[in-house]
Amino acid sequence: MGKNLTSRKEDYSKWYNELVVKADMAENSAVRGCMVIKPYGYAIWEKMQAELDRMFKETGHQNAYFPLFVPKSLFEAEEKNAEGFAKECAIVTHYRLQNDPDKPGKLRVDPNAKLEEELVVRPTSEAIIWSTYKGWIQSYRDLPILINQWANVVRWEMRTRLFLRTAEFLWQEGHTAHATKEEALFEANQMNNVYADFVENFMAIPVIKGVKSESERFAGAEETYCIEALMQDGKALQAGTSHFLGQNFAKAFDVKFANKEGGLEYVWATSWGVSTRLIGALIMTHSDDNGLVLPPNLAPIQVVIVPIYKSDEEFDAISQRANDLMKTFRDKGISCKYDDRDTLRPGAKFAQYELQGVPVRIAIGPKDMENNTVELARRDTFQKETVSVGALAEKVPQLLAEIQTSLYARALDFRNTHITKVETFEEFQNVLENKTGFISAHWDGTPETEQKIKELTKATIRCIPLDAENEAGKCVLTGKPSGRRVLFAKAY
RNA sequence: CGGGGUGUAGCGUAGCCCGGUUAUCGCGCCACGUUUGGGACGUGGAGGCCGCAGGUUCGAAUCCUGCCACCCCGACCA
């Protein structure tokens, strides 16, 4: 199921409902491709937010909030940025409805309530933020500004894909202002490292750090750092980006500062973001045919306890033990749940928690009560063992840690076996067709060649890896000289 | 926006070509009872403007026209 999340509805629909439902289109509704994130899915997002927020603050950032609406005149100020997003903007043109004289009971847009200037619903916030920063920055003493915003943004894509490309999505966007180019470059690179750290160590998804080619670069950026992950179906997913914006936005919004020498200089900028797309990455990296598989770090419930009983007496005794265990676990910071519902049989509960990806399950029945044991089962491998009650306080935290590392190891192994070095274009096409995954190949460095390869194979340059070694070679398509390999793949 | 496909109960579906009693089946839901170490079983029950709007016809889920939505493939993209 994890292999085909976005292409085969029947594969993911059974647990997709646990996380999210695509908004039902009301009659006449133009809302398309938006998602409803249900509590369980949102709890996962909150865990991500909490950890990222911690990491941002550790690196000196603060949270703030800026308006949803961007006046068109601000939006168009940075030319490349505006051009890049123009095709996918939702625009507010009116501010009032009125009763429709022709259709009783219906409303229409009041033609007299046209806005003097249209408002763009933010597809990203550089414009509104830099127009604000202008008023905040006069001197080098006002720098750096290190701000992050948690927000929703709207991108009116022609085609949406659940989790990976919804019309509205939640994200964080960092926007920083610096006195020097070096400092801004350091910041952009640092935040890309923060993302890599988070995605690898918290979400157990291996990534490749790199920079984008010119044509894949963020609109308005001078350099785009990125982390690229590989999904189980062999397609690449951009999991996060961090942009060095140069002085483009400072120039567009006329943001200058007085330096120590008394001269005026334009400010250097970065922006960086990750979104609810990461939930999609999580699903497509770890899930299997039984449903979601959550790394313990992200699981809203890390341990679930299921009682198995016939009589009330048995139930009471098991409940007592379960509550004792819960206290033990909670003291160790483990989130746990005791499912004492008498409306479902144990088997149904097992299936449900597998669907939800709960990492560890403990079952307690009459036999266990007799022997002072429990059945301990792990979601990732389905292994079960009988463990004495006294050993659990040690064993469960260990098991959670082991699941976390083993999920990462499994994904890393898959990823590494799906990076293929090729020398010829024939090999290139062959790998794309039969093996999928990343292709490490030489490229002559021109946008034309990149475009040609895209047309011929649908594969794009995912990134130029930061750790790529210098290696003389020949471009797979043109045969022209190349100084190092880049990574190609079909991408979401 | 181009090409293909699909809309029938909360979910998944049969019926549509070839129009004709009360629209099929499974899951789920509700009630009662028996059950409970891997998705229980029995009995009874509720739930449908057959995507929307027109048209053809004595009669439309079924035929025709228009519209809307969704899915897949392109273009576009976090």
> What's the Cα-to-Cα distance from A187 to each of A184, A242, A268, A320, rounded to whole Å?
5, 9, 11, 52
Per-residue model confidence (pLDDT) at position A208: 97
Whether A47 sits with its Cβ under 7 A from any strand B atom: the answer reads: no
pLDDT per residue as tens digits for the range A333-355: 999 999 999 999 999 999 889 98
Place of tokens 């004289």: A101
| Nearest one of A256, A227, A219, A299 to A47, comparing CA atoms | A299
Place of tokens 């096409």: A429
- Is A163:A19 a contact under the CB 8 Å cutoff? no
pLDDT per residue as tens digits for the range A75-100: 999 999 998 898 888 888 889 888 87
Chain B nucleotides close to protein (CB under 7 A) are 1, 11-13, 35-40, 68-78
For residues A223-238, give the mean pLDDT: 92
Single-letter amino acid, residue A309? Y
A 22-41 residues, CB < 7 A, strand B: 22, 25, 30, 32-33
CA of A407 to C1' of B31 (A): 45
CA-CA distance, A432 to A420, in Å (whole number)?
10
Place of tokens 């984008």: A212
The question of ipTM being above 0.90 is answered as no
Confidence of residue A105 (pLDDT cuts 50, 70, 90): low
Whether A342 sits with its Cβ under 7 A from any strand B atom: the answer reads: yes
CA of A33 to C1' of B5 (A): 19
Crossing angle of helices A277-286 and A39-58, rounded to 10°: 110
pLDDT per residue as tens digits for the range A391-412: 999 999 999 999 999 999 999 9
**Which tokens is A96 given?**
């009032």
pLDDT per residue as tens digits for the range A129-165: 999 999 999 999 999 999 999 999 988 877 777 778 8
**Which tokens is A129 given?**
């933020």
- Is A226:A282 a contact under the CB 8 Å cutoff? no
Specify the nucleotide whose C1' lies closest to residue A158 (CA): B76
HSE-up of A181 (CA within 13 Å, CB side)?
6
CA of A366 to C1' of B23 (A): 49
Q: How many residues make up chain A in this entry?
A: 492
For residues A99-116, give the mean pLDDT: 79
Confidence of residue A3 (pLDDT cuts 50, 70, 90): very low
Q: Kindly provide the residue ranges of all beta strands, DSSP E only, lying in A192-285, ordered along the sequence.
A: 208-211, 223-230, 236-246, 256-258, 264-266, 268-275
CA of A132 to C1' of B18 (A): 70
Q: Is the pLDDT of residue A28 over 70?
A: no
Per-residue model confidence (pLDDT) at position A361: 97
pLDDT per residue as tens digits for the range A409-446: 999 999 999 999 999 999 999 998 888 899 999 999 99
CA of A166 to C1' of B8 (A): 28
List domains and CATH numbers for chain A: 2-286 (3.30.930.10), 301-401 (3.40.50.800), 419-489 (3.30.110.30)
A 295-334 residues, CB < 7 A, strand B: 308-310
Whether A13 sits with its Cβ under 7 A from any strand B atom: the answer reads: yes
Confidence of residue A103 (pLDDT cuts 50, 70, 90): low
Per-residue model confidence (pLDDT) at position A290: 81
Q: How many CB atoms lie within 10 A of CB A308?
A: 19
Helix H or strand E encompassing A169 = strand A168-178
Whether A367 sits with its Cβ under 7 A from any strand B atom: the answer reads: yes
Burial of residue A346 (CB within 10 Å: 0-12, 13-18, 19+) is: middle
For residues A305-315, give the mean pLDDT: 94
- Is A278:A44 a contact under the CB 8 Å cutoff? no
CA-CA distance, A128 to A71, in Å (whole number)?
8
- Is A436:A418 a contact under the CB 8 Å cutoff? yes
- Is A115:A94 a contact under the CB 8 Å cutoff? yes
Specify the nucleotide whose C1' lies closest to residue A306 (CA): B37
Specify the nucleotide whose C1' lies closest to residue A348 (CA): B39
Per-residue model confidence (pLDDT) at position A303: 98
Per-residue model confidence (pLDDT) at position A12: 45
A 381-400 residues, CB < 7 A, strand B: 382, 384
CA-CA distance, A24 to A369, in Å (whole number)?
48
Whether A110 sits with its Cβ under 7 A from any strand B atom: the answer reads: no
Confidence of residue A29 (pLDDT cuts 50, 70, 90): very low
